[in-house]
Chains A and B, each alone.
Chain A
Amino acid sequence: MAQLTKSLKARNSDLASGAHQLEVLEHAGPGISFAEKLQGCGLFPLKPTGITIFQVNIGRMCNQTCAHCHVDAGPDRTEIMTRETMMQCLAVLKDPSLETVDITGGAPEMNPDFRWFVGEIKKLNKHIIVRCNLTIIVSNKKYHDLPEFYKAHNVEVISSLPFYDADRTDRQRGEGVFKSSIEALRLLNDAGYGKDPGLLLNLVYNPSGAFLPASQVELERQFKKELKNQHDIVFNNLYCITNMPVSRYLDFLIRTGNFENYMDKLVVAFNPSAAAGVMCRNTISVGWNGFLYDCDFNQMLDLTVHGAQTHIADFNISALNQRDIRLGQHCFGCTAGAGSSCGGSTV
Protein backbone atom coordinates (compact mmCIF):
# COMPACT_ATOMS: atom_id res chain seq x y z
CA MET A 1 0.00 0.00 0.00
CA ALA A 2 1.79 3.12 -1.17
CA GLN A 3 2.04 5.92 1.38
CA LEU A 4 0.46 9.20 0.37
CA THR A 5 1.41 12.50 1.91
CA LYS A 6 -1.76 14.50 1.32
CA SER A 7 -5.42 13.92 2.09
CA LEU A 8 -7.88 13.28 -0.74
CA LYS A 9 -9.37 16.67 0.05
CA ALA A 10 -6.03 18.45 -0.40
CA ARG A 11 -5.53 16.58 -3.67
CA ASN A 12 -8.99 17.69 -4.87
CA SER A 13 -9.91 14.06 -5.45
CA ASP A 14 -13.52 13.25 -6.37
CA LEU A 15 -13.41 10.65 -3.59
CA ALA A 16 -13.16 13.42 -0.99
CA SER A 17 -16.90 13.77 -1.49
CA GLY A 18 -19.20 11.38 0.40
CA ALA A 19 -21.76 11.58 -2.40
CA HIS A 20 -19.19 10.48 -4.98
CA GLN A 21 -18.04 7.58 -2.80
CA LEU A 22 -21.64 6.43 -2.40
CA GLU A 23 -22.12 6.54 -6.16
CA VAL A 24 -19.02 4.36 -6.68
CA LEU A 25 -20.11 1.94 -3.95
CA GLU A 26 -23.68 1.65 -5.22
CA HIS A 27 -22.52 -0.26 -8.27
CA ALA A 28 -20.12 -2.47 -6.34
CA GLY A 29 -20.48 -6.14 -5.47
CA PRO A 30 -22.02 -9.07 -7.29
CA GLY A 31 -25.48 -7.60 -7.86
CA ILE A 32 -26.95 -7.73 -4.36
CA SER A 33 -27.51 -4.84 -1.99
CA PHE A 34 -26.66 -4.89 1.71
CA ALA A 35 -30.32 -4.19 2.52
CA GLU A 36 -31.37 -7.28 0.52
CA LYS A 37 -28.84 -9.38 2.45
CA LEU A 38 -30.31 -8.14 5.74
CA GLN A 39 -33.81 -8.92 4.50
CA GLY A 40 -32.65 -12.47 3.88
CA CYS A 41 -31.79 -12.93 7.53
CA GLY A 42 -34.68 -10.98 9.06
CA LEU A 43 -32.66 -7.94 10.12
CA PHE A 44 -34.20 -5.32 7.83
CA PRO A 45 -34.86 -2.56 8.69
CA LEU A 46 -31.84 -2.55 10.97
CA LYS A 47 -32.73 -1.17 14.39
CA PRO A 48 -30.60 -0.19 17.40
CA THR A 49 -30.47 -2.56 20.34
CA GLY A 50 -30.01 0.45 22.63
CA ILE A 51 -27.31 3.12 22.48
CA THR A 52 -24.68 2.75 25.19
CA ILE A 53 -21.56 3.97 23.35
CA PHE A 54 -21.12 7.63 22.46
CA GLN A 55 -18.38 7.82 19.86
CA VAL A 56 -17.18 11.32 19.22
CA ASN A 57 -14.84 12.37 16.44
CA ILE A 58 -13.23 15.59 17.68
CA GLY A 59 -11.33 16.42 14.53
CA ARG A 60 -9.82 15.33 11.26
CA MET A 61 -6.44 16.87 12.03
CA CYS A 62 -3.71 14.24 12.37
CA ASN A 63 0.09 14.05 12.42
CA GLN A 64 -0.07 11.02 10.09
CA THR A 65 -1.50 10.44 6.60
CA CYS A 66 -2.18 6.72 6.63
CA ALA A 67 -2.85 5.14 3.25
CA HIS A 68 -6.05 3.42 4.41
CA CYS A 69 -7.59 6.22 6.54
CA HIS A 70 -11.38 6.28 6.26
CA VAL A 71 -11.44 9.75 7.83
CA ASP A 72 -9.11 11.20 5.17
CA ALA A 73 -7.29 12.73 8.13
CA GLY A 74 -3.89 14.40 7.98
CA PRO A 75 -1.85 17.47 8.84
CA ASP A 76 -3.63 19.38 6.07
CA ARG A 77 -7.08 18.91 7.67
CA THR A 78 -8.21 21.72 9.94
CA GLU A 79 -11.72 20.63 10.96
CA ILE A 80 -11.88 20.18 14.73
CA MET A 81 -14.66 20.19 17.31
CA THR A 82 -15.15 23.45 19.20
CA ARG A 83 -15.52 23.69 22.97
CA GLU A 84 -19.12 24.82 22.42
CA THR A 85 -19.96 21.54 20.62
CA MET A 86 -18.11 19.60 23.32
CA MET A 87 -20.32 21.29 25.91
CA GLN A 88 -23.38 20.13 23.98
CA CYS A 89 -21.92 16.60 24.09
CA LEU A 90 -21.37 16.88 27.84
CA ALA A 91 -24.99 17.92 28.36
CA VAL A 92 -26.12 14.80 26.47
CA LEU A 93 -23.68 12.59 28.38
CA LYS A 94 -25.53 13.21 31.66
CA ASP A 95 -27.80 10.39 30.47
CA PRO A 96 -26.63 7.32 32.47
CA SER A 97 -27.49 4.92 29.65
CA LEU A 98 -24.53 6.35 27.72
CA GLU A 99 -21.89 4.33 29.57
CA THR A 100 -18.86 4.67 27.30
CA VAL A 101 -17.37 7.66 25.51
CA ASP A 102 -15.13 6.67 22.62
CA ILE A 103 -12.99 9.64 21.52
CA THR A 104 -11.51 9.46 18.06
CA GLY A 105 -10.12 11.62 15.24
CA GLY A 106 -7.71 12.27 13.39
CA ALA A 107 -5.40 12.46 16.31
CA PRO A 108 -7.86 13.59 18.98
CA GLU A 109 -5.02 14.85 21.18
CA MET A 110 -4.34 17.61 18.62
CA ASN A 111 -7.61 19.31 19.48
CA PRO A 112 -6.58 22.06 21.97
CA ASP A 113 -9.64 21.27 24.13
CA PHE A 114 -8.95 17.53 24.26
CA ARG A 115 -7.63 17.40 27.83
CA TRP A 116 -10.39 19.66 29.13
CA PHE A 117 -13.00 17.47 27.40
CA VAL A 118 -11.59 14.25 28.89
CA GLY A 119 -11.53 15.84 32.35
CA GLU A 120 -15.18 16.90 32.08
CA ILE A 121 -16.29 13.47 30.83
CA LYS A 122 -14.50 11.84 33.74
CA LYS A 123 -16.54 13.97 36.17
CA LEU A 124 -19.62 12.28 34.69
CA ASN A 125 -18.13 8.91 35.68
CA LYS A 126 -18.04 7.46 32.16
CA HIS A 127 -15.75 4.81 30.79
CA ILE A 128 -13.46 6.70 28.39
CA ILE A 129 -11.73 5.27 25.35
CA VAL A 130 -9.17 7.30 23.41
CA ARG A 131 -8.13 6.12 19.97
CA CYS A 132 -4.51 7.18 20.06
CA ASN A 133 -2.32 6.73 16.99
CA LEU A 134 0.77 6.23 19.27
CA THR A 135 3.15 8.44 17.28
CA ILE A 136 1.46 11.59 18.59
CA ILE A 137 2.94 10.80 22.02
CA VAL A 138 6.50 11.10 20.75
CA SER A 139 5.84 13.67 18.02
CA ASN A 140 6.30 16.73 20.22
CA LYS A 141 7.41 17.42 23.80
CA LYS A 142 3.97 18.77 24.69
CA TYR A 143 2.51 15.28 24.15
CA HIS A 144 5.15 13.29 26.05
CA ASP A 145 3.06 13.23 29.24
CA LEU A 146 0.00 11.74 27.52
CA PRO A 147 0.51 8.28 29.09
CA GLU A 148 0.39 9.87 32.55
CA PHE A 149 -2.63 11.96 31.55
CA TYR A 150 -4.46 8.85 30.34
CA LYS A 151 -3.56 7.03 33.53
CA ALA A 152 -4.79 9.89 35.74
CA HIS A 153 -8.17 9.74 33.98
CA ASN A 154 -8.28 5.93 33.78
CA VAL A 155 -8.60 6.11 30.00
CA GLU A 156 -8.65 2.92 27.93
CA VAL A 157 -6.14 3.40 25.14
CA ILE A 158 -6.83 1.81 21.74
CA SER A 159 -4.06 2.15 19.19
CA SER A 160 -3.49 0.98 15.65
CA LEU A 161 -0.54 -1.21 14.86
CA PRO A 162 -1.17 -3.03 11.59
CA PHE A 163 1.74 -5.42 11.95
CA TYR A 164 4.54 -6.40 14.27
CA ASP A 165 7.24 -5.36 11.82
CA ALA A 166 8.32 -2.02 10.40
CA ASP A 167 7.95 -2.87 6.74
CA ARG A 168 4.24 -3.62 6.65
CA THR A 169 3.39 -0.98 9.28
CA ASP A 170 5.25 1.83 7.53
CA ARG A 171 3.76 1.00 4.15
CA GLN A 172 0.32 1.65 5.61
CA ARG A 173 1.00 4.39 8.15
CA GLY A 174 4.11 6.19 6.91
CA GLU A 175 7.87 6.03 7.04
CA GLY A 176 9.21 5.63 10.57
CA VAL A 177 5.78 5.08 12.14
CA PHE A 178 6.64 1.60 13.45
CA LYS A 179 9.73 2.83 15.27
CA SER A 180 7.84 5.75 16.85
CA SER A 181 4.93 3.48 17.73
CA ILE A 182 7.23 1.09 19.58
CA GLU A 183 8.74 4.03 21.43
CA ALA A 184 5.25 5.23 22.44
CA LEU A 185 4.15 1.72 23.46
CA ARG A 186 7.19 1.53 25.72
CA LEU A 187 6.14 4.81 27.41
CA LEU A 188 2.62 3.46 27.86
CA ASN A 189 3.99 0.22 29.34
CA ASP A 190 6.21 2.26 31.67
CA ALA A 191 3.09 4.10 32.89
CA GLY A 192 1.53 0.71 33.66
CA TYR A 193 -0.59 0.36 30.51
CA GLY A 194 -0.99 -3.25 29.45
CA LYS A 195 0.44 -4.33 32.80
CA ASP A 196 -1.72 -2.99 35.63
CA PRO A 197 -5.28 -4.27 35.81
CA GLY A 198 -7.53 -1.37 34.86
CA LEU A 199 -5.00 0.32 32.60
CA LEU A 200 -6.14 -1.16 29.33
CA LEU A 201 -3.95 -0.94 26.25
CA ASN A 202 -5.60 -2.55 23.23
CA LEU A 203 -4.10 -2.68 19.77
CA VAL A 204 -5.92 -2.61 16.46
CA TYR A 205 -4.86 -4.75 13.53
CA ASN A 206 -6.20 -3.90 10.13
CA PRO A 207 -4.84 -5.46 6.96
CA SER A 208 -2.15 -3.58 5.04
CA GLY A 209 -3.70 -4.28 1.67
CA ALA A 210 -6.70 -5.67 -0.17
CA PHE A 211 -7.28 -8.67 2.06
CA LEU A 212 -9.37 -9.57 5.07
CA PRO A 213 -8.15 -10.07 8.63
CA ALA A 214 -7.69 -13.63 9.85
CA SER A 215 -8.71 -15.05 13.22
CA GLN A 216 -8.41 -12.44 15.97
CA VAL A 217 -7.37 -15.07 18.50
CA GLU A 218 -4.50 -16.37 16.39
CA LEU A 219 -3.27 -12.93 15.33
CA GLU A 220 -3.37 -11.72 18.93
CA ARG A 221 -1.25 -14.71 19.97
CA GLN A 222 1.25 -13.88 17.24
CA PHE A 223 1.36 -10.14 18.00
CA LYS A 224 1.87 -10.81 21.71
CA LYS A 225 4.70 -13.25 21.03
CA GLU A 226 6.52 -11.04 18.51
CA LEU A 227 6.13 -7.72 20.36
CA LYS A 228 7.28 -9.31 23.63
CA ASN A 229 10.22 -11.17 22.09
CA GLN A 230 11.44 -8.41 19.80
CA HIS A 231 10.60 -5.25 21.77
CA ASP A 232 9.56 -6.31 25.29
CA ILE A 233 6.13 -4.69 24.70
CA VAL A 234 2.95 -5.99 26.33
CA PHE A 235 -0.70 -5.17 25.66
CA ASN A 236 -4.14 -6.49 26.58
CA ASN A 237 -6.18 -7.34 23.48
CA LEU A 238 -5.78 -7.21 19.73
CA TYR A 239 -8.85 -6.02 17.83
CA CYS A 240 -9.03 -7.12 14.20
CA ILE A 241 -10.81 -4.61 12.01
CA THR A 242 -11.74 -5.10 8.37
CA ASN A 243 -10.84 -2.14 6.18
CA MET A 244 -14.00 -0.42 4.99
CA PRO A 245 -14.19 0.56 1.33
CA VAL A 246 -14.43 4.23 2.25
CA SER A 247 -12.29 7.29 1.57
CA ARG A 248 -8.53 6.66 1.20
CA TYR A 249 -8.89 2.87 1.40
CA LEU A 250 -11.51 3.06 -1.36
CA ASP A 251 -9.06 5.20 -3.34
CA PHE A 252 -6.35 2.56 -2.81
CA LEU A 253 -8.68 -0.25 -3.96
CA ILE A 254 -9.63 1.61 -7.13
CA ARG A 255 -6.09 2.77 -7.97
CA THR A 256 -4.66 -0.74 -7.61
CA GLY A 257 -7.44 -2.57 -9.47
CA ASN A 258 -8.53 -4.41 -6.33
CA PHE A 259 -11.94 -2.80 -5.83
CA GLU A 260 -14.12 -5.37 -7.58
CA ASN A 261 -12.42 -8.39 -6.02
CA TYR A 262 -12.45 -6.84 -2.55
CA MET A 263 -16.18 -6.09 -2.71
CA ASP A 264 -16.85 -9.63 -3.99
CA LYS A 265 -14.87 -10.97 -1.05
CA LEU A 266 -16.85 -8.92 1.46
CA VAL A 267 -20.17 -10.01 -0.02
CA VAL A 268 -19.22 -13.69 -0.25
CA ALA A 269 -18.03 -13.56 3.38
CA PHE A 270 -21.34 -12.05 4.64
CA ASN A 271 -22.12 -13.59 8.01
CA PRO A 272 -25.66 -13.20 9.47
CA SER A 273 -24.29 -13.55 13.02
CA ALA A 274 -21.92 -10.67 12.39
CA ALA A 275 -24.80 -8.67 10.93
CA ALA A 276 -26.79 -9.11 14.13
CA GLY A 277 -23.87 -7.77 16.17
CA VAL A 278 -22.86 -4.69 14.14
CA MET A 279 -21.69 -1.75 16.26
CA CYS A 280 -24.19 0.77 14.85
CA ARG A 281 -26.86 -1.01 16.92
CA ASN A 282 -25.38 0.19 20.23
CA THR A 283 -23.30 3.21 19.16
CA ILE A 284 -24.01 6.75 18.08
CA SER A 285 -21.31 8.65 16.24
CA VAL A 286 -20.88 12.42 16.59
CA GLY A 287 -18.95 14.42 14.01
CA TRP A 288 -16.59 17.30 14.68
CA ASN A 289 -19.37 19.75 13.81
CA GLY A 290 -21.95 18.06 16.06
CA PHE A 291 -23.88 16.13 13.44
CA LEU A 292 -25.05 12.63 14.36
CA TYR A 293 -24.32 9.45 12.43
CA ASP A 294 -24.91 5.72 12.76
CA CYS A 295 -21.16 5.08 12.72
CA ASP A 296 -17.82 6.71 11.93
CA PHE A 297 -18.02 5.36 8.36
CA ASN A 298 -21.45 6.85 7.64
CA GLN A 299 -19.99 10.03 9.10
CA MET A 300 -17.29 10.10 6.42
CA LEU A 301 -19.94 9.46 3.76
CA ASP A 302 -22.01 12.42 5.05
CA LEU A 303 -24.93 10.11 5.90
CA THR A 304 -26.50 11.74 8.98
CA VAL A 305 -28.94 9.65 11.02
CA HIS A 306 -32.49 9.16 9.78
CA GLY A 307 -35.08 11.35 11.44
CA ALA A 308 -35.59 14.97 12.35
CA GLN A 309 -32.86 15.24 14.98
CA THR A 310 -29.55 15.07 13.20
CA HIS A 311 -27.50 17.35 15.44
CA ILE A 312 -26.18 17.04 18.99
CA ALA A 313 -28.20 20.15 19.90
CA ASP A 314 -31.38 18.12 19.26
CA PHE A 315 -30.15 14.81 20.76
CA ASN A 316 -33.07 12.61 21.75
CA ILE A 317 -32.02 9.13 22.80
CA SER A 318 -35.56 7.68 22.70
CA ALA A 319 -36.02 8.79 19.09
CA LEU A 320 -32.53 7.60 18.16
CA ASN A 321 -33.19 4.18 19.67
CA GLN A 322 -36.24 3.84 17.40
CA ARG A 323 -34.60 4.96 14.15
CA ASP A 324 -33.82 2.90 11.07
CA ILE A 325 -30.05 2.66 10.63
CA ARG A 326 -28.83 3.93 7.26
CA LEU A 327 -27.23 1.27 5.10
CA GLY A 328 -25.02 1.07 2.04
CA GLN A 329 -22.72 -1.32 0.21
CA HIS A 330 -19.84 -0.29 2.51
CA CYS A 331 -21.70 -2.00 5.37
CA PHE A 332 -20.54 -5.37 3.97
CA GLY A 333 -17.20 -4.48 5.60
CA CYS A 334 -18.70 -4.93 9.07
CA THR A 335 -20.43 -8.24 8.33
CA ALA A 336 -17.67 -10.20 6.59
CA GLY A 337 -16.34 -13.32 8.27
CA ALA A 338 -16.01 -12.88 12.00
CA GLY A 339 -17.44 -9.35 11.73
CA SER A 340 -15.76 -6.06 12.37
CA SER A 341 -16.34 -3.16 14.72
CA CYS A 342 -14.34 -0.55 16.58
CA GLY A 343 -13.94 -3.27 19.22
CA GLY A 344 -12.69 -5.87 16.73
CA SER A 345 -14.46 -9.09 15.70
CA THR A 346 -18.10 -9.39 16.67
CA VAL A 347 -18.64 -13.15 16.35
Chain B
Amino acid sequence: MEKNHYYNAADLKKFPSVGEFGKDLADKFFAYYSAVFAEGALTAREKSLVALAVSHAVQCPYCIDAYATDATEKGWSEQQMMEAVHVAVSIRGGASLVHSVQMMNKVKEISM
Protein backbone atom coordinates (compact mmCIF):
# COMPACT_ATOMS: atom_id res chain seq x y z
CA MET B 1 0.00 0.00 0.00
CA GLU B 2 1.31 3.47 -0.90
CA LYS B 3 1.94 5.73 2.06
CA ASN B 4 1.96 9.46 2.52
CA HIS B 5 -0.23 10.12 -0.51
CA TYR B 6 -3.50 11.79 0.37
CA TYR B 7 -4.44 11.95 -3.31
CA ASN B 8 -3.72 9.36 -5.99
CA ALA B 9 -4.94 10.01 -9.56
CA ALA B 10 -5.61 6.30 -10.07
CA ASP B 11 -8.14 6.39 -7.20
CA LEU B 12 -10.60 8.29 -9.38
CA LYS B 13 -11.31 5.07 -11.29
CA LYS B 14 -12.18 3.43 -7.95
CA PHE B 15 -14.93 5.94 -7.18
CA PRO B 16 -17.71 3.47 -8.08
CA SER B 17 -16.30 1.04 -5.49
CA VAL B 18 -17.34 3.25 -2.55
CA GLY B 19 -20.45 1.06 -2.44
CA GLU B 20 -18.29 -1.62 -0.90
CA PHE B 21 -18.79 -0.05 2.54
CA GLY B 22 -22.41 0.94 2.05
CA LYS B 23 -24.15 -0.10 -1.14
CA ASP B 24 -27.60 1.40 -0.66
CA LEU B 25 -26.46 4.96 -0.10
CA ALA B 26 -23.83 4.69 -2.84
CA ASP B 27 -26.43 3.43 -5.33
CA LYS B 28 -28.73 6.29 -4.36
CA PHE B 29 -25.91 8.82 -4.74
CA PHE B 30 -24.83 7.57 -8.18
CA ALA B 31 -28.42 7.43 -9.42
CA TYR B 32 -28.90 11.02 -8.21
CA TYR B 33 -25.57 12.02 -9.77
CA SER B 34 -26.57 10.60 -13.16
CA ALA B 35 -29.92 12.34 -13.00
CA VAL B 36 -28.30 15.67 -12.14
CA PHE B 37 -25.96 15.52 -15.14
CA ALA B 38 -28.59 14.41 -17.66
CA GLU B 39 -29.94 16.85 -20.24
CA GLY B 40 -32.46 19.13 -18.58
CA ALA B 41 -33.27 22.82 -18.62
CA LEU B 42 -29.48 23.08 -18.79
CA THR B 43 -27.67 20.95 -21.36
CA ALA B 44 -25.21 18.25 -20.29
CA ARG B 45 -22.57 20.45 -21.92
CA GLU B 46 -23.48 23.47 -19.76
CA LYS B 47 -23.57 21.32 -16.63
CA SER B 48 -20.07 20.09 -17.38
CA LEU B 49 -18.74 23.66 -17.29
CA VAL B 50 -20.60 24.39 -14.04
CA ALA B 51 -19.07 21.20 -12.59
CA LEU B 52 -15.60 22.31 -13.67
CA ALA B 53 -16.00 25.65 -11.91
CA VAL B 54 -17.39 24.03 -8.76
CA SER B 55 -14.51 21.52 -8.78
CA HIS B 56 -12.14 24.46 -8.34
CA ALA B 57 -14.28 26.05 -5.68
CA VAL B 58 -14.23 22.85 -3.62
CA GLN B 59 -10.58 22.21 -4.66
CA CYS B 60 -11.17 18.56 -5.48
CA PRO B 61 -8.30 17.21 -7.65
CA TYR B 62 -10.33 14.20 -8.74
CA CYS B 63 -13.19 16.44 -9.87
CA ILE B 64 -10.77 18.78 -11.67
CA ASP B 65 -9.22 15.86 -13.61
CA ALA B 66 -12.64 14.49 -14.46
CA TYR B 67 -14.29 17.73 -15.52
CA ALA B 68 -11.27 19.23 -17.29
CA THR B 69 -11.46 16.14 -19.51
CA ASP B 70 -15.24 16.14 -19.74
CA ALA B 71 -15.48 19.85 -20.58
CA THR B 72 -12.76 19.48 -23.24
CA GLU B 73 -14.60 16.51 -24.74
CA LYS B 74 -17.82 18.50 -24.74
CA GLY B 75 -16.19 21.22 -26.84
CA TRP B 76 -15.49 24.02 -24.37
CA SER B 77 -12.43 26.01 -25.33
CA GLU B 78 -9.48 26.67 -23.01
CA GLN B 79 -10.55 30.31 -22.74
CA GLN B 80 -14.11 29.38 -21.78
CA MET B 81 -12.90 26.91 -19.16
CA MET B 82 -10.54 29.45 -17.62
CA GLU B 83 -13.32 32.06 -17.49
CA ALA B 84 -15.50 29.52 -15.67
CA VAL B 85 -12.70 28.94 -13.14
CA HIS B 86 -12.43 32.69 -12.58
CA VAL B 87 -16.15 32.78 -11.82
CA ALA B 88 -15.51 30.22 -9.06
CA VAL B 89 -12.48 32.19 -7.87
CA SER B 90 -14.42 35.45 -7.74
CA ILE B 91 -17.22 33.87 -5.71
CA ARG B 92 -14.72 32.32 -3.30
CA GLY B 93 -12.81 35.59 -3.03
CA GLY B 94 -16.03 37.59 -2.77
CA ALA B 95 -17.25 35.29 0.00
CA SER B 96 -14.22 36.25 2.07
CA LEU B 97 -14.32 39.89 1.14
CA VAL B 98 -18.01 40.36 1.87
CA HIS B 99 -17.26 39.35 5.48
CA SER B 100 -15.21 42.50 5.73
CA VAL B 101 -18.52 44.30 6.12
CA GLN B 102 -18.94 42.43 9.39
CA MET B 103 -15.41 43.41 10.35
CA MET B 104 -16.18 47.04 9.55
CA ASN B 105 -19.41 46.87 11.51
CA LYS B 106 -17.64 45.47 14.54
CA VAL B 107 -14.76 47.93 14.37
CA LYS B 108 -17.18 50.84 14.10
CA GLU B 109 -19.25 49.44 16.97
CA ILE B 110 -16.29 49.38 19.33
CA SER B 111 -14.62 52.53 18.16
CA MET B 112 -15.07 56.05 19.51
Contact = CB atoms under 8 A, between A and B. Distances in A.
A105 interface: no
A219 interface: yes
A32 interface: no
A218 B43 contact: yes
Given A168-B77, A214-B75, A222 B45 contact: yes
Interface-central residue, A163, A207, A211, A213, by most chain B CB under 10 Å: A211
B74 A218 contact: yes
B69 interface: yes
Contacts of B44: 215, 218
Contacts of A222: 45, 75
B72 A209 contact: yes
A207 B45 CA distance: 16
Contact of A213 (B69, B73, B78): B73
Interface centre among A165, A207, A218 (most CB of B within 10 A): A218
Nearest to A211: B73
A326 to B, nearest CB: 30
A215 B78 CA distance: 19
Interface in A193-229: 207, 209, 211-215, 218-219, 222-223
Contact of B72 (A165, A211, A218, A223): A211
Contact of B69 (A165, A167, A168, A211): A211
A115 B35 CA distance: 53
Contacts of A165: 77
Interface in A140-181: 163, 165, 167-168
A329 B26 CA distance: 33
A214 B77 contact: no
Interface in B42-67: 43-45
B78 A214 contact: no
Contacts of A212: 73
A214 B72 CA distance: 9
Interface in B10-52: 13, 43-45
A218 B75 contact: yes
A172 to B, nearest CB: 13
Contacts of B13: 264
Interface string A273-290: 000000000000000000
Contact of B73 (A163, A214, A223, A264): A214
Given A215-B74, A219-B75, 7 more contacts: A168-B77, A211-B69, A211-B73, A212-B73, A214-B73, A215-B45, A264-B13
9 contacts: A167-B77, A207-B72, A211-B69, A214-B45, A215-B45, A218-B74, A219-B74, A219-B75, A222-B75
Interface of B: 13, 43-45, 69, 72-75, 77-78
Q: What are the nearest 5 A-B pairs in CB distance? A: A214-B74, A214-B73, A211-B73, A219-B75, A222-B75
